[in-house]
Amino acid sequence: MAGGKPLAIDGRTLDARAQFLAVQGAKAPSITTLDPVTARAATAQGLKLLDGTRSPQVLVEAVTVPGSAGPLGARLYTPRNAGGPLPGLVFYHFGGCVIGDLDTCDTFCSMLADIGECVVLSVDYRLAPEHKFPAAVDDALAAYRYARDNAETLGMTRRIAVGGDSAGGYLSAVVAQEMKRTGEEEPALQLLIYPVTDMEWQGGSWESCENVYPLTREIMEWFIGHYLNDPGEAKNILASPLKSGDLEDLCPAIVITAGFDVLRDQGIAYAQALREAEVNTTYRSYDNLCHAFTAMTGVVPAAKRACEEIARDVRRILHA
């Protein structure tokens, strides 16, 4: 990246604006040098400088939903022109299950509601290390069940999706699998944006993209170390959904990867596994973007275009 030379990895070239962010981001200390509480504050401040503005076509309401161990904060995004119940989407933000909050994906959630023509319930699930695995999973399951059982109150139809980016994509994949395993009503869609699917993953982009902004391999290992009680839990399918050998008959999936992302190849592997299991799967790779592009819509035009396309995919499936 020095001297303005385009960053190329694995035959891909990083978007120029994303590369500028990477250069600037490299000047700040890694969050691995911070305690989790300080890291949350630092990343929240940084994200405010990158994200776009919330869609004015969406009404946003602060709500509370029951979690597995107590109430959770949440936000409900409803299109202003909604003339009645719309399909729903329970959304889980990114942050390695260690950082992030309802502001992390606020703009993107408003885009999903507006362009996707759905009611979005964004959930502030519990974070590690205060609440280690499987607390986030338990909260994600509780939030989906709440939305499913209270759809009318939330302005939703019974077509309710789950979705999220990074850690949120991981949680969404687990929710979809668990609903099938328990024989409960499955989501209408699982939206998996650069998801974590195997916490033991090695090789490929885990190595080639190990130093790419904003999610280095060191940061990912820091997240996993704070989230899991011990490394052996990475073998649990509730931590690594790619390890499940039972993907048949899952709900339709949208799987998104970014070209410059340590998680790229495990996202590709999950999309392939779903297709091999004959799950209706839409896969998109944004090869010139990096991890966390859903929070860069204010400064990276390619990220905004990608988010709009993802929202259109959501609309296509939920309104089918």
> What is the Cα–Cα distance from 223 to 266, expressed in whole angstroms?
16
Confidence category of residue 25, pLDDT binned at 50, 70, 90: confident
Q: Domains in the chain: how many in total?
A: 1
90 contacts 163 by C-beta, under 8 angstroms: yes
**Residue 265 has what pLDDT?**
98
184-211 in b/e form (b: 16+ CB < 10 A) is eebbbbbbbbbbbbbbebeeebbebbee
314 contacts 189 by C-beta, under 8 angstroms: yes
- Three-state SS letters, 48-91: HCCCCCCCCCEEEEEEEEECCCCEEEEEEEEECCCCCCEEEEEE
Over residues 283-308, the mean pLDDT reads: 98
- What pLDDT digit, counting tens, does each position of 168-187 carry? 999 999 999 999 999 999 99
Confidence category of residue 250, pLDDT binned at 50, 70, 90: very high
- Whether pLDDT at 263 is above 70: yes
| E strand intervals along the chain | 8-9, 12-13, 58-66, 71-79, 86-92, 119-123, 156-165, 190-193, 253-260, 281-290
Q: How far apart are the first and last CA of the chain?
A: 44
**Residue 73 has what pLDDT?**
98
State the catalytic residue, choosing from 110, 166, 205, 244.
166
Confidence category of residue 240, pLDDT binned at 50, 70, 90: very high
Residues 6+ away with beta carbon under 8 Å from 129: 36, 98, 226, 227
Q: Could you tell me the CATH number of the domain that includes residue 30?
A: 3.40.50.1820
**Residue 2 has what pLDDT?**
41
> What is the Cα–Cα distance from 232 to 244, expressed in whole angstroms?
16
- What pLDDT digit, counting tens, does each position of 45-77 carry? 999 889 999 999 999 999 999 999 999 999 999
Confidence category of residue 147, pLDDT binned at 50, 70, 90: very high
Confidence category of residue 27, pLDDT binned at 50, 70, 90: confident
257 contacts 161 by C-beta, under 8 angstroms: no
Residue with tokens 């260690």: 98
Annotation says 261 is catalytic: yes
Residue 244 falls inside a structural domain: yes
Structural domain of 180: 13-318
The whole-chain average pLDDT of the chain stands at 96
Residue 7 falls inside a structural domain: no
- How many separate helices (H) and strands (E) can be counted in the chain? 10, 10
Positive or negative, the Cα torsion across 276, 281, 282, 284?
negative
State the catalytic residue, choosing from 15, 261, 265, 313.
261
Nearest residue to 60 via CA among 121, 141, 144, 148 = 121
Grouping H, G, I as helix, E, B as strand and the rest as coil, residue 148 is helix
71 contacts 143 by C-beta, under 8 angstroms: no
- What pLDDT digit, counting tens, does each position of 210-228 carry? 999 999 999 999 999 999 9
Residue 39 falls inside a structural domain: yes
Residue 4 falls inside a structural domain: no
Residue 2 falls inside a structural domain: no
**Among residues of the chain, what percentage have pLDDT more than 90?**
95
- Whether pLDDT at 3 is above 60: no
Task: Put residue 57 in one of left, alpha, beta given phi > 0 → left and psi -120 to 50 → alpha.
Answer: alpha
State the catalytic residue, choosing from 124, 240, 291, 313.
291
Residues 6+ away with beta carbon under 8 Å from 74: 62, 63, 64, 65, 102, 121, 122, 123, 124, 143
Confidence category of residue 261, pLDDT binned at 50, 70, 90: very high
Annotation says 291 is catalytic: yes
**Residue 1 has what pLDDT?**
41
What distance lies between CA 320 and its chain's CA centroid? 23
> What is the Cα–Cα distance from 110 to 92, expressed in whole angstroms?
14
Residue 6 falls inside a structural domain: no
Annotation says 208 is catalytic: no
Confidence category of residue 26, pLDDT binned at 50, 70, 90: confident
Grouping H, G, I as helix, E, B as strand and the rest as coil, residue 257 is strand
**Residue 197 has what pLDDT?**
98
3/240: higher pLDDT: 240
